[in-house]
Amino acid sequence: MTHPLLSVQDLRVHFPVRSGVMLRQNGAVRAVDGVSLDIAPGETLGLVGESGCGKSTLGKAVVRLLKPTSGSVRFEEKDISHLSQRALRPLRRDFQMIFQDPAESLDPRMSVRSIIEEPFIIHRIGNRAERTKRVNELLDRVGLPTSAAERYSFEFSGGQRQRIGIARALALKPKLIVCDEPVSALDVSIQSQILNLLVELQQDFGLSYLFIAHDLSVVKHVSDRVAVMYLGKIVELAPAETIYRDPRHAYTKALLSAIPSPDPRARREKILLEGDVPSPIDPPAGSAFGHRIKHPRYEESVGMDLSLTEIAPGHMVAADPCGLTEQDWQALQTGRIP
Amino acid sequence: MNGTNGNILEVNKLITSFETDRGLLRAVDQVSFSVPAGKTVGIVGESGCGKSVTAMSIVRLLPQPAGKILGGHVLFKGRDLVQASDDEIRRVRGGEIGVIFQEPMSALNPVHRIGRQVVEVFRLHQKISKRDAWDAAVEMLDLVRIPAPEKRMMDYPHQLSGGMRQRIVIALALACRPSLVIADEPTTALDVTVQAQILDLMARLQNEMKMSIILITHDLGVIAETCDEVVVMYAGRVVEKASATELFANPLHAYTKGLLNSIPTLETPSKSVLNTIPGMVASLAEHTHGCRFCQRMGRSLPGTRERPAFSEVSPGHWVETCPECYQPA
């Protein structure tokens, strides 16, 4: 295998919790708590999980909109996790981000042209005429008329605004785009337009995506591999087809069964998870998932190494007695892959 | 007590308009459907299709003074709610008809404790002492499966998770044992696992309390899993109406087909091109003649300026029979 474009090793992002008169730190939100993953050139890695599981924080840390607490983020072999903003700037053109709410991520006081042009100005690329030409090309590429350039983002519908956000992200010909819930605010018919556009752009430009979403059908549609995140940790990572056909972790199984299927004849029994995701401020000592479902083997998992282990070629799952079937757990223990 | 043909609610040629700077906009344009007792009717469509305005017209919760019901009837157990006095409608709303809103945070008052808000519903609609109302409220929270309900009564809304808040809103809607519940996107703001919990809870309560539900959603998956009957709305009109099994097996209107084909399912091949509906929902300010969906598709056919007839093409399956958009298999 060639070198991955992005390689994340044991990444942690903790936010301090302060209280009292002296604002002394007396805890931390462990939003991302030991995540490792790779993204190959041209690949889409889907990242799913419930709200509050840390998936957006992970996305932001990968493009250094947040500084990781520990661990490394290597982009094309270069560790960017602790670079200064100044050292980062020339590298930034290679990794971009698309946000969930295009209304909030586009400045309402800037024309569409200035929004898309801004990256060129910051990176001192081209003169005015060249920039105008590039902006027009980009608008055309994302399916907006050239006349859109002189208008303001609030004059557009949600789907069109997302196209503007995509044009801005594409401007500097990045290699990786982190898409944070890019279609969850859109209606289904518009959602499919944007998904088609993202897939098309990937094929044309050889882009890699880290595609964050809570909708598993959408994630499966665009991803080559899928990572399932639960309370700051990845519990399962496998090729997209595999994770849907043969999920091994109980949390993945529950998530999949919760997707409403648009076929009334296929009403299935759901695996209902009790309660909500526990707070990442004081996460349970053992398996966070086992704690939520009050698994009988939870006590056993305290102090155990629950990191990802290969259970089948290319199929990683957390070595967690609360998340695996007895058979899979035994197989992992003895090193025999079923 | 029930209305005609075992229907608890009959909406008949309802017209709701909004007064705006651009003139009178018809958000609901002659919408008709009925809700059989004990059944769930889903209203589906994209944002701006008039789903919520239809539902809010039923209980007359329209933004004032802009929103007005200009025509039609809403027969609830035989009574016309359009003609009802303000007093009457206030008794029905929250009493015999419960409403569940999408955003639980904005449906709850942030400065009052949960207990006070649930107790208030009982005190408003029933002659009941404070003590009894409190007990009834605790019982209600227990019914919607909120753990430690006595303790939660003392909490403020912000102290609860999204799923728990939505349970409170459901408790408020169900407090007076309504015979009809209007749920406007009750799970849209929630995670799939929590959505599954809430839908399961609503189905169980529906069984226990024998109520009818109008469920408004843009999620066809949710419709397929919970509804008996489905009403598809586009630009203020009902374009198709059928039982859920029939609608998903045999969609007849181009808009319904477009919606169904544009969602990726777990069976769709990865990275394949998804079907799309070009453009977006037609603006209500533009002309109201002819077929609204043809307008979106950029079709302007001579002789189609008349509004297409809404006809029953097979028993129980109604569709707008525009020559272009009515597409039988």
For position A132, what pLDDT does the model report? 95
Quick check: A89 and A78 in contact, CB under 8 A? Answer: no
* Minimal C-alpha gap between B165 and chain A (Å): 12
Quick check: B238 and A258 in contact, CB under 8 A? Answer: no
> Burial of B310 by CB count in 10 Å (0-12 exposed, 13-18 middle, 19+ buried)?
middle
Among candidates A95, A96, A99, which has minimal Cα distance to A161? Answer: A99
Residue type, A46: G
* Chain A residue with the nearest C-alpha to that of B47: A187
Q: Name the CA radius of gyration of chain B, rounded.
A: 21
Separation between Cα atoms, residue B236 and residue B30, nearest integer Å: 8
For position B1, what pLDDT does the model report? 45
Separation between Cα atoms, residue A67 and residue A93, nearest integer Å: 18
For residue A210, the surrounding DSSP H or E stretch is: strand A208-212
Test B224 with A223 for CB contact under 8 angstroms: no
Query: Tens digits of per-residue pLDDT, B82-123?
Result: 999 999 999 999 889 999 987 777 789 999 999 999 999 999
State the ipTM, two decimals. 0.81
Q: Domain ranges in chain B?
A: 4-265+276-320
Beta bridge partners of A7: A38, A74
Task: Give B-chain residues touching A144 at CB under 8 angstroms.
Answer: none
List, in order, residues 6 or more apart from B297 with CB less than 8 Å away.
Answer: B254, B278, B279, B324
Among candidates B329, B161, B165, B147, which has minimal Cα distance to B252? Answer: B329
Task: Give B-chain residues touching A198 at CB under 8 angstroms.
Answer: none
Average pLDDT over residues B4-18: 90
Query: Tens digits of per-residue pLDDT, B139-183?
Result: 999 888 888 899 999 999 988 888 888 889 999 999 888 999 999
Lowest mean pLDDT of A220-224, A274-278, B73-77, B230-234, name the range.
Answer: A274-278
Mean pLDDT of each 10-residue bin along chain A, 338 residues long: 88 88 81 94 94 90 94 94 92 92 86 94 93 95 92 88 94 95 86 94 95 90 95 94 93 90 76 74 84 87 87 92 90 70
DSSP string of B305-322, one letter each residue: -SPPPEEEEETTEEEE--
Test A192 with B245 for CB contact under 8 angstroms: no
Joined tokens for residue A78: 């270069």
For position A1, what pLDDT does the model report? 54
> What is the number of other CB atoms lying within 10 angstroms of the CB of residue B278?
10
Separation between Cα atoms, residue A160 and residue A142, nearest integer Å: 9
Q: Which CATH architecture has domain B4-265+276-320?
A: 3-Layer(aba) Sandwich (3.40)
* DSSP H stretches of helix in chain B: 51-58, 86-92, 104-107, 114-125, 130-143, 149-152, 162-174, 192-209, 220-226, 244-249, 254-262, 292-296
3-class secondary-structure state, position B100? strand
Q: In this complex, which of B163, B196, B272 lies closest to A270 when CB atoms are compared?
A: B196
Test B271 with A199 for CB contact under 8 angstroms: yes
Residue predicted with more confidence, B40 or A104: B40
Task: Give A-chain residues touching B268 at CB under 8 angstroms.
Answer: 217, 221
Query: Tens digits of per-residue pLDDT, B288-304?
Result: 678 888 888 877 665 55
> Which CATH number describes the domain made up of A6-94+174-334?
3.40.50.300
Test B196 with A257 for CB contact under 8 angstroms: yes
For position B287, what pLDDT does the model report? 60
Q: Domain ranges in chain A?
A: 6-94+174-334, 103-173
**pLDDT surpasses 60 at B2:** no
Mean of the per-residue pLDDT values of chain B: 89
Separation between Cα atoms, residue A236 and residue A228, nearest integer Å: 5
Quick check: A236 and A252 in contact, CB under 8 A? Answer: yes
Beta bridge partners of A33: A12
Compute the CA torsion angle B97, B100, B106, B111 (nearest 10 deg).
60
Residue predicted with more confidence, B23 or B3: B23
* Chain A residue with the nearest C-alpha to that of B266: A217
Separation between Cα atoms, residue A123 and residue A119, nearest integer Å: 6
Quick check: A251 and B192 in contact, CB under 8 A? Answer: no
Compute the CA torsion angle A20, A24, A28, A29 (nearest 10 deg).
50
Q: Is A188 on the interface with B (CB under 8 A)?
A: yes
Q: In which order are the strands placed within the sheet that holds A44-48?
A: A95-98, A176-180, A208-212, A44-48, A225-230, A233-239, A315-318, A308-312
**pLDDT surpasses 80 at B281:** no
Q: Name the CA radius of gyration of chain A, rounded.
A: 21
pTM of the predicted model, to two decimals? Answer: 0.87
* Chain A residue with the nearest C-alpha to that of B273: A196
Test A260 with B222 for CB contact under 8 angstroms: yes
Q: Is A157 on the interface with B (CB under 8 A)?
A: yes
For position B193, what pLDDT does the model report? 84
